[in-house]
Structure 1
Amino acid sequence: MKFIFLPWIIASAELHPVQPVDKTETVKTGAGVEITVNGTRSALPLISVSAMPGEEVRLAIPEDARIETSDGKLSRDAAEIAWTAPEAPGLADMKISHRGAETRLNLLVLTPFENGVDDSLNGYRIGMYARPLRDLPSYAVPKGLIDLTAMSEDLRVSPNFQLGQFRCKQQPGHEPTYLLMQPDMLVKLETILAAANEKGWEADTFFVMSGYRTPFYNAAIGNTTTSSRHLYGDAADIYIDQDRDGQMDDLDGNGRIDKEDARALVKLIDELAAEQPEGWVVGGASAYGSNAAHGPFVHVDTRGYSARW
């Protein structure tokens, strides 16, 4: 076993990637070590972040925390740690331990994508990203995508969500399949899920009706906008379906499944937005009713500014 000893870390090359775990209840946001990774604050025991090959991931952790990594290079710069991603796309992971608490961090190393040059990756249609909306950093064109096929749909990316829940619905069965997923969105979904359970809406996860969308797929389903947050990996159309009947549960208790159930979930999101819990990033939220294709659902995202419609 090879170890690297530094005054503030122990890094091991034999840490195994995080795999799905059996659980009977949701995990609360304060169960792990408080960290900041690439600007995302989290106290979850498991969180995931993406980076291009060779790109630095910036980490702020407690000074006396211990780190173990499976791959990539570590260095310290002032109060932050730089974790340089491996050169090959794939999965690396890190364990951070501090005073009895533990957080696992997945590093999803992206497959490069050159917008305007590549229309697809290995036969998977991506399409063309538009110029960033109002030149906002949150709308920057992605430089790479997560290879879902190489990492497994069952990979747990936060305590109560798996990577496959966020896959694009295009080209069913195609391998490889690519997507994007942002850590701010994971923290937000976990925070909403914990609040829903505290309210008495039992749920071990949300059903993600739509997560990531490629520009190609977004246009194919009739959307004219080129700045949907779904294209950037920080939006999800969700509903609670604990009884697994394929539609929103009766959250308002009126005996019907309708838009009021979606509005009840948006109301909970608005209450959380007013409280600004740890790691919460402002964004969009809206309730949608049923149509011939789906039941009621809620859109939520972390676009960086408040939006309701």
Structure 2
Amino acid sequence: MQFIYSTLVCIFSFVLSINAHAAQPTKKAHPTVDISNKANFEDAEFSLKINDLVMSYSVFSVFVMPQENVEFEVLYAQSEQSYILNNNDGKATLTNTNRWQWQAPKKLGLTRVFIESPDKKQRMTINVFVKVPADEVEGGKLKYYHIGHYPKPSQIKDAEHYIVPDGFVKVTPENESVKISPHFSLKEFVSKQRSKHPKYLFLQSKLLLKLEKIRKELILEGIPVKNMVVMSGYRTPYYNKSIGNVKLSRHVFGDAADIFIDNDGNYRMDDINNDGKHSIGDAKVMANIVESLAKRESFKGLLGGLGIYGPKSHRGAFIHVDTRGFKARWVSK
């Protein structure tokens, strides 16, 4: 009799368990990301720390002064064997396992540093642009190129958030198409003023890292990005003044970009919220994704401004992003 009672209790408990599980709502699985274009995710299998910046792209860029020291360190190494640093110019000194102190050459222009895995199956290419010293600017010009005048750090409130250029990258027909990160080239960031070559540019590597992270996150959120346009990158003080912008625009300090998605090639923001319109709503979708990134610990070093701009007769909607180091938000309809 005891056996029958125990058996009935077990059966009753089992039935209750089934009903309890059936009553719980089914948790939706995260939608599968279809990576039809692997170029969207050009990550290496290891990360590289460049001074205080960590990235994992197969190609990246830094902008340095002649003979400036740069520290390279492999993080998340995939092998117990040592990685290899090769370079076209400059001097590299091994300071620890997978860590080097590299000194840029005196020669101005583009040189490259290569970091390779022990089996040479993984390789990072670091484009190093050795800048023309800023003290070569005379009368607001570098050679024949209009730069304008930068304020002295003592003239800037909260000067710690502004990096006045110590030098400028010389942009020529030979180097302007160089990929400075997986999806952006040097020429996309040059000031929009009319000028013949050579042109000169000031750019901070943190901005490249931020743009690549935004691009990747948009794709992960289901928004296709074949072409992210940098409508405005660096602006010389000369050009910035000519368009009537504020004197201390982040664009002048090389850490800002106005961007939009333009997959159809009409130089207007696409209808990414799928409401059948080209409106400020599309820029808000991009901004919301940037805002979600800003809440992550890994994004902390890239914090900055986020502006939302509605369309005008001469242009479409866009967002402004920068890496000023603190949060700033605004909307311009």
Q: Give the TM-score band, short-chain normalised.
A: 0.7 to 0.9
- Residue 162 of structure 1 deviates from its aligned partner by 0.7
**Code of the aligned partner of 1:144:** G
Match of 1:222 in 2: 244
8 A Cα contact 2:137 2:143, kept in partner: no
User: What does residue range 1-309 of structure 1 map to in structure 2 within 5 Å?
Assistant: 24-28=37-41, 30-62=43-75, 64-77=82-95, 80-98=99-117, 100-114=121-135, 117-132=138-153, 133-149=156-172, 151-172=174-195, 174-223=196-245, 225-277=246-298, 281-309=302-330
**Code of the aligned partner of 1:143:** D
**Code of the aligned partner of 2:180:** V
* Bigger relative contact order (CA 8 A; separation at least 6): 1
Cα offsets for 1:224-279 (capped at 9, x unmatched): x2222111211100000011111001011100001110011000000111123368
Number of residue pairs matched?
285
- Residue 76 of structure 1 deviates from its aligned partner by 3.8
Secondary structure of the residue aligned to 1:231 is helix
Q: Structure 1 residues 262 and 86 mapped into 2: Cα distance closer, same or farther (>3 Å)?
A: same
Q: Structure 1 residues 280 and 46 mapped into 2: Cα distance closer, same or farther (>3 Å)?
A: farther
Identical amino acids, percent of aligned pairs: 34
**Code of the aligned partner of 2:324:** R
Q: Structure 1 residues 92 and 299 mapped into 2: Cα distance closer, same or farther (>3 Å)?
A: same
Match of 1:15 in 2: none
CA distance in 1, matches of 2:304, 2:42: 19
| Cα RMSD, aligned residues only | 2.2
8 A Cα contact 2:230 2:259, kept in partner: yes
TM-score by length of 2: 0.80
TM-score by length of 1: 0.85
**Code of the aligned partner of 2:295:** A
8 A Cα contact 1:161 1:205, kept in partner: no
CA distance in 2, matches of 1:204, 1:254: 20
Which structure's CA Rg is the greater one?
A: 2
Cα offsets for 1:42-85 (capped at 9, x unmatched): 01111100001111122222482211111111124467522111
Greater helix share, 1 or 2? Answer: 2
Q: Structure 1 residues 95 and 48 mapped into 2: Cα distance closer, same or farther (>3 Å)?
A: same
8 A Cα contact 2:293 2:299, kept in partner: no
Segments of structure 2 that go 5 or more residues without pairing to the other structure are: 1-35
8 A Cα contact 1:90 1:151, kept in partner: no
Match of 1:3 in 2: none
- Residue 25 of structure 1 deviates from its aligned partner by 4.4
